[in-house]
Amino acid sequence: MFLARVLASVMLLLTLTSPARAADEPLSLWNDSPSRNAIIDFVTRTTTNGSSDFLPPEQRVAVFDNDGTLWSEQPMYFQGLFVFDRIRELAPQHPEWKTKEPYASILKGDYKKALAGGDKALITLVMATHAGMTADEFSSIVAQWLATAEHPTLKRHYTELVYAPMLQLLDYLRANGYKTFIVSGGGIEFMRVFAEKTYGIPPEQTIGSSIKTKFEMKDGKPQIIRLPQIDFVNDGPGKPVGIARFIGRKPVMAFGNSDGDIQMLQYTTGGSGPHLGVIVHHTDATREVAYDRQSSVGKLDKGLDIAAANGWILVDMKHDWKKVYPFE
Amino acid sequence: MFLARVLASVMLLLTLTSPARAADEPLSLWNDSPSRNAIIDFVTRTTTNGSSDFLPPEQRVAVFDNDGTLWSEQPMYFQGLFVFDRIRELAPQHPEWKTKEPYASILKGDYKKALAGGDKALITLVMATHAGMTADEFSSIVAQWLATAEHPTLKRHYTELVYAPMLQLLDYLRANGYKTFIVSGGGIEFMRVFAEKTYGIPPEQTIGSSIKTKFEMKDGKPQIIRLPQIDFVNDGPGKPVGIARFIGRKPVMAFGNSDGDIQMLQYTTGGSGPHLGVIVHHTDATREVAYDRQSSVGKLDKGLDIAAANGWILVDMKHDWKKVYPFE
C-alpha cells in the first residue's frame, strides 16, 4: 500500500510538472492570446455536455477559407502561379501564344500586364490550363506541379507553405467532434489534389469554384471531361451559396482572412445559437508578409472595419502564433 | 466448477441455436440470394485486411439513388406529389390558376393533362412551388408536408414508404466503414429535410438536382433565397458529374433502379479496382408495384438489357427481400 501511494504521488507530480504538458495543451503553437482563448472557450462550451451552448456532433461544422487562411497567398494566389507555370509549359504546343495576349505577357514574365485584361484575360488563362482534359488528367497535372514547383522567393514546395497553427487547429477541432470543411474561391478540383494529405480534409469536404464538366464513355471507359465554361464562383456572396449547396447546414465556426470571406462570416455568425467568426490578419512582415487594406491579393479592408461590430475575432499572426510554417 | 461448466455449456448451446442469431447476421431482412451474397462478399473482400481487394476507409464510398431505390416512387415520384399538393394549397392566393395551365389541370385532379406540357409545364410547376422563398422557409414547408401528407393509396406518411432491407444495407455498409451518399434526380433541399433522420445520411452526403440560390442580408439576418432557375439536373449523365463535383472520388458501390442510374453505374463500375453495381428491380406486385420497361416513372429498360454484360447485380424485390416496408 505504501509503495502504491508513493507511486501515485510520483505520477501526480510528473503530471503536474512534466514538460510534455505544454505540448499536450490545445493549440500549443498559439501564444496565450485573445484569439486562442476565444477558440478554446468556444470549443469547450459547444462540446461540454450540459453546457447551454452544447452542440450535438452533427451540428459541429467549421468552415475554412484556404488562400491566406490555411496556406500563403503571396505574391499571388498559388493557383495563379500554377496557371503561369502551366502556360509556359504548354507554350511550345502553341506558337501563336508568343504574340497573343494575355499569353505573350506571361511568356515574357510580365504577369501584371497579362492580368491587366481583367476577368476576360483571367478566364482565358484559366480555361487554357484547366479545361480540355479529363478530371483524372487534370489531377495528375496538379499533383505533378505540386511535387516539383517551388515558390518564387521562398524556394519551397507550395504544400510546405501551410500555417502550422492552423493545421493544429484543424486537428483540435476534429478531436472535438467538429467536421472541418474548406470553402475557398480556389478551384475545387485543384484543392482536392492536396487537401486530404495536407489538411486531413477529404474531397467531399473541400468546396471551391468550378468549371462545367460532362460525363462520357470513351472507349468503354467512364470519363469526366472538363469544359471551358465557368460553373460556379465560390467567393464573396458565392461562399454561403456554396455552403448551403454542398453542406446543407449552417456552420457554427468560420475562418477567413479577406473581404471575400465576409459573407461566409455573416452567414455563420448572423443567426441564433452559438457561433464564432475568425479573421486571420496578416501582420507578420518577418516570418510571412504583412498586408491587408492595400493588397491586390487577399485584400482585407471592409472586413477590418466591421469585425468588431460583428464580434469576429482577429488573429494577429505576428503576436498570436509561435511559428508560421511547419518547417521553421 | 461443475456449475460453471454447465452454465458455459448452456450458454454455448444458446449461442449456437438461439433464434437471435439470425438477426445478428448481416442483411437478415434479405433472403439467401445471389444479390445478398454478392453484396456481403464484396463488403467482406474490401474490408478484410490482407485481401487483394482491401480498400482503405476513405475509398469506401457507396452511392444510392433515392426514388425507387431507397423509397417508393409509384404512382408518381413523391416530390411530384408534393408539387401537386402544394399547388392546391397555394391556389387560393392565385385565382388565375383556375383557368391557366398547367395549374388548372392539377386543380381538377388531372395530373396527366397537367404534365402533357412536358418539361416546360414541369419546370413551371417546380418553380411555383420550390422558388421564391428562403431556404429555411422551403425546408419548413417540406417538413410540414412530410409530417402530414399521406400516400394516395397506401395512406401512409411518405417517410414510412422506405425499403427496410435497404435501410439495413445502409447500416451494414456504415458499420463496415463505408460512407453512404444519396445521388438522386430529386431536389437536393427536398431530400435533405428527411434524409438524415430517415436514412442516417447527413445533408452533406445528400446530392440531388438544384435550382439557383443567392445570398442576402435581410434586416441584418443572413438568408439563402431560392431563385426560379434550374441550376443542375442530377440525373442520367448528370449523376457522375454530380458525384465528381460533390464527392470528388469515384464510388466503389452504386445502387440504382432505373435507366437514370445507368451512367452512375457505368462511372462506378467502369474502371479498375474493386467495384459493385446493383439494380433494384421492382418485381413485387403484391407488397409493392411490379414495373420496369413500360413504366413512365422509374423506367428500367436499357438497364435491364445491359446489366449482365456489365456485371451489375439485379435485386429481385419479390424473391430477395423478406419484407419491403418497415411497418409490414
pLDDT of B20 strictly over 60:
no
pLDDT value, residue A4:
54
pLDDT value, residue B4:
55
Asked if B267 lies within 8 A of A222 by C-beta distance, the reply is: yes
pLDDT of B17 strictly over 50:
no
Give domain status of residue A260, yes or no.
yes
Using a CB–CB cutoff of 8 Å, tell me whether B234 touches chain A: no
Q: For A139, what's the count of Cα atoms within 13 Å in the CB-facing half-sphere?
A: 16
pLDDT value, residue A5:
54
Which of A175, A181, A166, A168 minimizes the C-alpha distance to A43? A175
Q: What is the pLDDT of residues A197-210, one digit of tens each?
A: 999 999 999 999 99
Give domain status of residue A42, yes or no.
yes
Asked if A248 lies within 8 A of B220 by C-beta distance, the reply is: no
Q: Which domain holds residue A205?
A: 28-75+132-320
The C-alpha of B34 sits at a distance from chain A's nearest C-alpha, in angstroms, of 26
Give domain status of residue A45, yes or no.
yes
**List of chain B residues whose C-beta atoms are within 8 Å of the C-beta of residue A183:** none
Using a CB–CB cutoff of 8 Å, tell me whether B242 touches chain A: no
Using a CB–CB cutoff of 8 Å, tell me whether B221 touches chain A: yes
The C-alpha of B153 sits at a distance from chain A's nearest C-alpha, in angstroms, of 32
pLDDT tier at B21, thresholds 50, 70, 90: very low
pLDDT tier at B18, thresholds 50, 70, 90: very low
**List of chain A residues whose C-beta atoms are within 8 Å of the C-beta of residue B210:** 245
**List of chain A residues whose C-beta atoms are within 8 Å of the C-beta of residue B203:** 247-249
Asked if A189 lies within 8 A of B248 by C-beta distance, the reply is: yes
Asked if B213 lies within 8 A of A241 by C-beta distance, the reply is: yes
Stretches in chain A below the pLDDT threshold 50:
1-2, 6-7, 10-21
Using a CB–CB cutoff of 8 Å, tell me whether A311 touches chain B: no
Asked if A224 lies within 8 A of B246 by C-beta distance, the reply is: no
Asked if A222 lies within 8 A of B240 by C-beta distance, the reply is: yes
Q: Mutation test of the interface with chain B: which of A204, A217, A266, choosing the one with the most B Cβ atoms within 10 A?
A: A204
**List of chain A residues whose C-beta atoms are within 8 Å of the C-beta of residue B58:** 196, 202
Task: State whether ipTM is beyond 0.85.
Answer: yes
**List of chain B residues whose C-beta atoms are within 8 Å of the C-beta of residue A266:** 217, 222
Q: What is the pLDDT of residues B252-284, one digit of tens each?
A: 999 999 999 999 999 999 989 999 999 999 999
Using a CB–CB cutoff of 8 Å, tell me whether B270 touches chain A: yes
Of residues A222, A263, A271, nearest to B221 (C-beta): A271
Asked if A244 lies within 8 A of B271 by C-beta distance, the reply is: no
CA nearest to B180 within chain A:
A204
pLDDT value, residue B119:
87
CA nearest to A204 within chain B:
B247
Angstrom distance (rounded) from CA A33 to CA A38: 8
pLDDT value, residue B64:
99
- Residues of B (125-164) whose Cβ lies below 8 Å from A: 135
Length of chain A: 328
Using a CB–CB cutoff of 8 Å, tell me whether B213 touches chain A: yes
Quote the percentage of chain B above a pLDDT of 90: 89
Using a CB–CB cutoff of 8 Å, tell me whether A218 touches chain B: no
Using a CB–CB cutoff of 8 Å, tell me whether A261 touches chain B: no
Give domain status of residue B136, yes or no.
no
H-helix segments, chain A: 2-17, 20-24, 34-47, 78-90, 103-107, 111-115, 118-130, 135-148, 164-175, 188-199, 238-246, 262-269, 302-310, 317-320
pLDDT value, residue B118:
87
* CATH number for the domain that contains residue A316: 3.40.50.1000
Distance linking the first and last C-alpha atoms of chain A: 49
Task: Verify cis geometry, omega within 30 degrees of 0, for the bond prior to A237.
Answer: no
pLDDT value, residue A118:
87
pLDDT of B2 strictly over 90:
no
Calculate the CA B182 to chain-centre distance.
6
Give the 3-state secondary structure of residue A6.
helix
pLDDT tier at B16, thresholds 50, 70, 90: very low
Calculate the CA A240 to chain-centre distance.
16
pLDDT of B15 strictly over 50:
no
Give domain status of residue B172, yes or no.
yes
Give domain status of residue A10, yes or no.
no
The C-alpha of B161 sits at a distance from chain A's nearest C-alpha, in angstroms, of 24
Asked if A204 lies within 8 A of B248 by C-beta distance, the reply is: yes
pLDDT tier at B146, thresholds 50, 70, 90: very high
Asked if A222 lies within 8 A of B270 by C-beta distance, the reply is: yes
Asked if B247 lies within 8 A of A192 by C-beta distance, the reply is: no
pLDDT of B241 strictly over 80:
yes
Is residue A292 a contact partner of residue A282, using CB atoms and an 8 Å limit? yes
Give domain status of residue B328, yes or no.
no
Give the 3-state secondary structure of residue A45.
helix
Please state the rounded mean pLDDT for residues B131-155: 97
Angstrom distance (rounded) from CA A222 to CA A201: 26
Q: What is the pLDDT of residues A247-294, one digit of tens each?
A: 999 999 999 999 999 999 999 999 899 999 999 999 999 999 999 999
Angstrom distance (rounded) from CA A133 to CA A213: 10
The C-alpha of A304 sits at a distance from chain B's nearest C-alpha, in angstroms, of 18
Is residue A142 a contact partner of residue A158, using CB atoms and an 8 Å limit? no
pLDDT tier at B115, thresholds 50, 70, 90: confident
Count of domains in chain A? 1
Angstrom distance (rounded) from CA A205 to CA B217: 25
pLDDT value, residue B62:
98
pLDDT of B250 strictly over 70:
yes
Using a CB–CB cutoff of 8 Å, tell me whether A244 touches chain B: yes
Using a CB–CB cutoff of 8 Å, tell me whether B200 touches chain A: no
- Residues of B (80-119) whose Cβ lies below 8 Å from A: none
Using a CB–CB cutoff of 8 Å, tell me whether A246 touches chain B: yes
C-alpha cell at B199: 436514412
C-alpha cell at B172: 451494414
Task: Report long-range pairs for A118-126 (Cβ below 8 Å, ≥24 apart).
Answer: A123/A230, A125/A83, A125/A87, A126/A83, A126/A211
Give domain status of residue A36, yes or no.
yes
**List of chain A residues whose C-beta atoms are within 8 Å of the C-beta of residue B312:** none
